[in-house]
Amino acid sequence: MNEDQPSVENGCVLWSNGMDLFKDAAERNNFLPTGLEGIDMLLGGGLRKGHLTEITGQSSSGKTQVCLYSASHVAARHMGVVLYLDTSNSFSPSRIAHIVDELPISLIKEPKDMRLKRVMSSIVCESVFDVFALFEVLDQLEASMNDKVNSGGNKICLLIIDSVSSLLAPIIGGKNSQGRSMMISVAMILKKLADKHNLSVLVTNHTVGGNGAPKPALGESWKAVPHVRLMISRDHGSNMYTATVLKHTLLASGRHMKFVVP
């Protein structure tokens, strides 16, 4: 076996020395952790800065859990501010509190009450219920990121949209070319923000039925947008999940890893 290639055991990807391909980049702070070990191992460190990562899956497959864990861990580890755009009232402060409470004291050395207060102050949640509101928020974000005063620990490092498909799917049905143009505009703004300001952008997307297995929504035009696309599924009746690579700049499709959501 080539030492720079992963092996598979019991359905899980196992890295040997190939993990070194990612470790150096992670040590240079090019990744933000999701806090879910299987996903972070699969992606070689977590959500890559400058990239747009999409989490897709069926209803109740764990997409929002990935978003909440990512927001919690990035904020808890003093990595910067998280902007969380909630499109379906799925953001849960109580779930954030539970996740933060589980963090080991060796990771975050501060009293739990102080930790939670700091984490919540570092996660900015805004409700966004249509694409026009999304454009407005993204325009404001770009203006604030261009402001030279916004720097250091107050800088937004992670942008989450849960879910982008609930905003875009209603405008791209039928022969509505204007809707598709708006979708592409959203994609261009998100990728520009990620690249110019070294953000990690994390979006969720639902799946649609078809001939065979469910596939990510929003069609072929959107398919080219994410740098990384993961399919999330949940083992029936358990807290065990599987993340499968559908698209990645470095990994072949089909690689997967189990992970647990406590």
Domains contained in the chain, CATH given: 7-260 (3.40.50.300)
pLDDT tens by residue, the chain, 262 residues = 343 444 444 444 444 444 444 445 444 479 999 999 999 999 999 999 999 999 999 999 999 999 999 999 999 988 899 999 999 999 999 999 999 988 876 666 777 778 889 999 999 999 999 999 999 999 999 998 887 544 444 789 999 999 999 999 999 876 667 889 999 999 999 999 999 999 999 999 999 986 778 899 999 889 999 999 999 999 988 899 999 999 998 888 999 999 999 8
What would the DSSP string read from start to end of 139-190? HHHHHHHH-TT--GGGSEEEEEEETHHHHHGGGSSTT-HHHHHHHHHHHHHH
pLDDT at residue number 103: 83
Distance, CA of 233 to CA of 259 (rounded, Å): 10
CA-based nearest residue to 169, from 217, 210, 137: 217
Strand (E) positions, the chain? 7-9, 12-14, 31-32, 47-48, 52-56, 81-86, 123-127, 156-162, 200-205, 207-208, 215-216, 228-234, 240-247, 256-260
CA distances for 203 relative to 8, 27, 218, angstroms: 28, 24, 13
pLDDT at residue number 142: 92
Which tokens is 56 given? 């897709």
